[in-house]
């Protein structure tokens, strides 16, 4: 058999490990909930779209294309501005 002190040390170590495992499990639950939120939102959105009449779906698709075009145009303008950002920051940084 093991000496008494060794068993006490092992029991304390086991308790520490159990607490660490409990904390890890709680963190995993929080992470899984955070990861699942967008999926849950997407699932609800798909269910709402499926409830719409077919003609409304066609209208939504057209609206989606228009929104996509406007967003892409804005992003390309933003990309053009951001292309010069390193040069501007280095010039402004040297003046200070």
Which residues form the domain of 12? 1-51
Mean pLDDT of 79-86: 76
Band (95; pLDDT cuts 50, 70, 90): low
Quote the pLDDT of residue 41: 86
For 96, counting Cβ atoms within 10 Å of its Cβ (0-12 exposed, 13-18 middle, 19+ buried), the class is exposed
Quote the pLDDT of residue 20: 97
73 and 61 in a common domain: yes
Quote the pLDDT of residue 94: 63
pLDDT over 80 at 80, yes or no: no
92 and 47 in a common domain: no
3 and 42 in a common domain: yes
What total number of domains does the chain contain? 2
Instruction: State the Cα–Cα distance between residues 73 and 94, nearest whole angstrom.
Output: 33
Quote the pLDDT of residue 22: 97
Domain edge (last residue) among 51, 66, 81:
51
89 and 70 in a common domain: yes
pLDDT tens for residues 9-63?
A: 999 999 999 999 999 999 999 999 988 888 888 888 888 878 888 877 778 778 8
95 and 74 in a common domain: yes
SS (H, E, C) the chain: CCCHHHHHHHHHHHHHHHHHHHHHHHHHHHHHHHHHHHHHHHHHHHHHHHHCCHHHHHHHHHHHHHHHHHHHHHHHHHHHHHHCHHHHHHHHHHHC
């Amino acid at each position: 058999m093991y000496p008494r002190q060794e068993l006490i040390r092992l029991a304390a170590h086991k308790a520490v490990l159990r607490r660490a495992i409990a904390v890890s499990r709680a963190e995993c639950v929080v992470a899984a909930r955070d990861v699942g939120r967008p999926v849950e939102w997407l699932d609800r959105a798909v269910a709402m779209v499926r409830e719409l009449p077919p003609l409304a779906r066609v209208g939504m698709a057209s609206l989606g294309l228009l929104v996509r075009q406007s967003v892409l145009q804005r992003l390309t303008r933003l990309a053009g501005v951001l292309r010069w950002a390193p040069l501007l920051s280095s010039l402004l940084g040297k003046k200070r």
